Amino acid sequence: MTSMTAATGASPTAKAATLARGALAALCTLLVLAGCGTAHPKPLASGSLAEARTFPYFPVYWVGRNFDGHPLAAADGLKNYEPLIGDSVYYGDCVQSKGIFGGGSCLLPLQVTTVIYALHPNAALGAQRNVVLRGVPATVYDGGRSIEIYTGRVAIDIFSNNYANAISAADQLRPLNAPGGASADLPAPVYCPGLSGHESQAVVEVMASLPRHVCQSTIAEERYAKEVEGPHAPAAREIPGYND
């Protein structure tokens, strides 16, 4: 997105981020399904990968140099970084620098975008399922082809051509520009994700155990804002299990 949406009480900046990321998500979904380009790319040049490895602002996630037989075709790095959209890596065909181009018959099996999380309700994502992946909350949507994972200060958005590839990518995520591997759980988010819809007991437990009780604090702040601002304040979120 990444694929996203602006939050209850979100700032104008967060709302702008939501619109930009939502538009990118729609574009990614359409082009992943439709395909583009006709020639298979060469593996990413070592110089471009070296630039991506020095990205300074936050951990950027990837799944290694190859994904299901498809080479890493492009990585944004600092040169192509757009704060509202995040930093992406691309696997397969059709990618050049910051975008996905062309028309034709090739398939883009995977794009992974990492972005600083801006609070947003997930209702705008349409049909979705909240799950726990790699020990942290996540939302599966777009018929299973896309997943948003909440970790640290960021959201990791996986765009793929089918559910199997999306889940496989989630299992293989590791930082490109920081220490870490794919075998351990991801760091817990330091924010309360704006989940929408049903939450299983596993999701409720993970949300309730986030560092510094961030979800409970977020709800309390939203309720206080509602009391102070009255009917014009955004409604406080209802989070199962600890809203009372």
pLDDT of 41 strictly over 90: no
Q: What is the pLDDT of residues 90-99, one digit of tens each?
A: 998 754 433 3
Nearest alpha-carbon partner for 111 in 16, 18, 21:
21
Work out the mean pLDDT of the chain and round it to a whole number. Answer: 77
Nearest alpha-carbon partner for 191 in 134, 150, 236:
150
pLDDT band for 222, please (50, 70, 90 cuts): low
In Å, how far from its chain's centre is CA 204? 20
Question: Is 221 part of a structural domain of the chain?
Answer: no
pLDDT band for 119, please (50, 70, 90 cuts): confident
Q: Which domain holds residue 152?
A: 12-189
What is the percent of the chain where pLDDT is above 70? 64
Task: Give the residue with greater pLDDT, 213 vs 94.
Answer: 213
User: What is the rounded CA–CA span in Å between residue 77 and residue 194?
Assistant: 28
Range ranked top by mean pLDDT from 24-33, 43-52, 94-103, 124-133: 124-133
Taking the model in full, what pTM does it have? Answer: 0.74
Give the DSSP H/E element, type plus range, for residue 163.
Answer: helix 163-172
Question: Is 50 part of a structural domain of the chain?
Answer: yes
Identify the pLDDT of residue 34.
40
User: Mean pLDDT, to the nearest integer, of 43-71?
Assistant: 88
Question: Is 197 part of a structural domain of the chain?
Answer: no
Question: Is 213 part of a structural domain of the chain?
Answer: no
Q: What is the pLDDT of residues 22-40, one digit of tens each?
A: 544 444 444 444 433 334 4
pLDDT of 151 strictly over 70: yes
Q: What is the DSSP code (8-state) at residue 126?
A: -
Neighbours of 149 (CB within 10 A): 26
Question: Is 5 part of a structural domain of the chain?
Answer: no
Q: Tell me how many domains the chain contains.
A: 1
Contact by Cβ (8 Å): 173, 61: yes
